[in-house]
Amino acid sequence: MTDMIPQDRVLIFDTTLRDGEQSPGATMTHDEKLEIAEMLDDMGVDIIEAGFPIASEGDFRAVSEIAKRSKNAVICGLARANLKDIDRSWEAVKHSKRPRIHTFIGTSPLHRQIPNLTMDEMAERIHDTVTHARNLCDNVQWSPMDATRTEWDYLKRVVEIAIKAGASTINIPDTVGYTAPEESADLIRRLIAEVPGADAIIFATHCHNDLGLATANSLAAVAGGARQIECTINGLGERAGNTALEEVVMALRTRHDIMPWSTEVDTTKIMAISRRVATVSGFPVQFNKAIVGKNAFAHESGIHQDGMLKNRENFEIMRPEDIGLAESSLPLGKHSGRAALRDKLKNLGFDLADNQLKDVFVRFKELADRKKEVFDDDIIALMRISEDAAHDRLQLKSLAVACGTGGPAEATIVMEIDGEEKTATMQGDGPVDASFKAVRALHASDSQLQLYQVHAVTEGTDAQATVSVRLEEGGNIATGQSADTDTVVASVKAYIHALNRLLVRRGKLGQDIKEINYRDMG
């Protein structure tokens, strides 16, 4: 109910684990989902949409475990407008101290054609399904998918039906990123003014970034009366992504003078979770991304640098420390010990257990032997290396490459496949092409390379390269990442990482885990 929270308070509903994970190639493992959920809970997110329980047995188990472990946040499960989905969602979230069922149906003319329902038939289904959810759980959220393209009179009608049936939160999704700020604010404002009972519930906004307006539309909706923003870490999500949590939270904090609303999010934990989501999803953050991008607090222009030296406020509207970004200190080297590395990792937002630190320390020493100085970004790149590598079916043992201007490149690779070492030598158009062909010679795959990206982590010829590889096979998409001072080695490791992820997904299908094809609510 709206009287349960102050009017100047905005609830943050994070859907990184549900809508964010639907971004092609961003599938997370069970343990990664639990880790991200714990980080979200610790940073003060109000509601965590932990998944879509009926989508698969794996999704159900993840939502159930997150519900059991949650300390403060409401744990929410998504359900389509049918009783089976809603029952499955309740079974998953009922273990939470504060459970929520979120059910939805597409209400726009285009989306009504999907279940082939008339307006009256859909209205009846909304009443029946929301009522059923409310009988199971006293915290029910309902969403009219593609609300911003739904006829006004019909949208008012179905919102009223959902409220009367017991929904305590009404979410208004801009499913395809179609709306604009003024329209977004007006839509919420009119619903509150014209729908009976609207003043007694919470309105939420869920925006996509197809036109680059997700953050602006979400903040406009709050100005119109919405008191819940649905968002994801790093703006991860379908197509162009969702509203970015870090953007709306920092906008409300930085411009509190004109947007007098607040959240309970601990902003100093933003960078840590941003980096972790980038790692587990395989989606690196673009350098010029607002708030969390590598260049967000970088200043190269002479005028800017001069102004910064005189007063940081000349060109910084936020402090790096406000989002948990520590000032770069002295780099580490090959003589640095475990304690120094632990302290550095803690400053960068990584709090590791002893066994995790042991593994990272070995990789750090290997890197330090090849680099004179190991900078913060080098350490962050180390953390992106697959933590499950020891259990992967495909592992790189060694790589030798011969290339130059005189002819085709040649790569000889030794891999361990299911515990057995195998060797292959292949030629190709450059060292990366030859190396990838050698991998395929040892492990046959029908996967197609959709993305190959290389970024230098730091400056200099000894800089680490971070490589991202995205593969598609039979409708399954997997992204692999790795880092190394040798770009070819990083490329092969990333390629093998993606292949291992495809094997995991293929294995799930082989165990008859039923994946349900569904259209997301936004």
Going from the N-terminus, what domains does the chain have, and what CATH number goes with each?
8-281 (3.20.20.70), 294-327 (no CATH), 330-374 (no CATH), 390-510 (3.30.160.270)
**In the chain, what percentage of residues exceed pLDDT 70?**
90
pLDDT digits (tens, 9 = 90+) for 32-57: 899 999 999 999 999 999 999 999 99
Could you tell me where the DSSP H helices lie in 52-151?
A: 57-69, 83-93, 109-112, 119-136
Sequence-separated (6 or more) residues with CB below 8 Å from residue 42: 71, 266, 269
Question: What single-letter amino acid sits at 231?
Answer: C
483 has pLDDT over 60: yes
| Pairing of the two strands 74-80 and 99-106 | parallel
What pLDDT was estimated at residue 128?
98
Check residues 25 and 64 and name the one with the higher pLDDT: 64
In Å, what is the CA distance from 290 to each residue of 247, 259, 432? 7, 18, 32
CB 130 within 8 A of CB 142: yes
What pLDDT was estimated at residue 368?
82
Quick one: how many helices (H) and strands (E) in the chain?
A: 16, 14
Q: Which residues are annotated as a binding site?
A: 19, 206, 208, 242
In Å, what is the CA distance from 363 to each residue of 312, 368, 382? 36, 9, 7
What pLDDT was estimated at residue 389?
60
Check residues 378 and 164 and name the one with the higher pLDDT: 164
Q: What angle in degrees, to the nearest 10, is found between the helix axes of 152-165 and 119-136?
A: 30
CB 74 within 8 A of CB 66: no
Q: What is the DSSP string of 163-179?
A: HHHT-SEEEEEETTS--
- 30: how many CB neighbours lie within 10 A of its CB? 12
Cα–Cα distance between 280 and 383 in angstroms, integer?
Answer: 10
Check residues 41 and 287 and name the one with the higher pLDDT: 41
What pLDDT was estimated at residue 416?
94
Sequence-separated (6 or more) residues with CB below 8 Å from residue 38: 69
Find the mean pLDDT for residues 132-148.
98
Q: Which of 195, 221, 266, 218 is nearest to 42 (CA)?
A: 266
Q: Which residues are annotated as a binding site for Mn(2+)?
A: 19, 206, 208, 242
pLDDT digits (tens, 9 = 90+) for 431-481: 999 999 999 999 999 999 998 988 877 777 778 888 889 899 988 888 888
Find the mean pLDDT for residues 410-437.
95
What pLDDT was estimated at residue 226?
98
Residue 390's pLDDT band, with cuts at 50, 70 and 90, is low
Residue 279's pLDDT band, with cuts at 50, 70 and 90, is confident
Residue 313's pLDDT band, with cuts at 50, 70 and 90, is low
The secondary element (H helix, E strand) that includes residue 413 is strand 409-417
Cα–Cα distance between 346 and 336 in angstroms, integer?
Answer: 15
pLDDT digits (tens, 9 = 90+) for 489-512: 999 999 999 999 888 776 654 443
Q: What angle in degrees, to the nearest 10, is found between the helix axes of 270-281 and 30-42?
A: 170
Mean predicted lDDT score pLDDT of the chain: 88
What pLDDT was estimated at residue 4?
63
Question: What single-letter amino acid sits at 181?
Answer: P
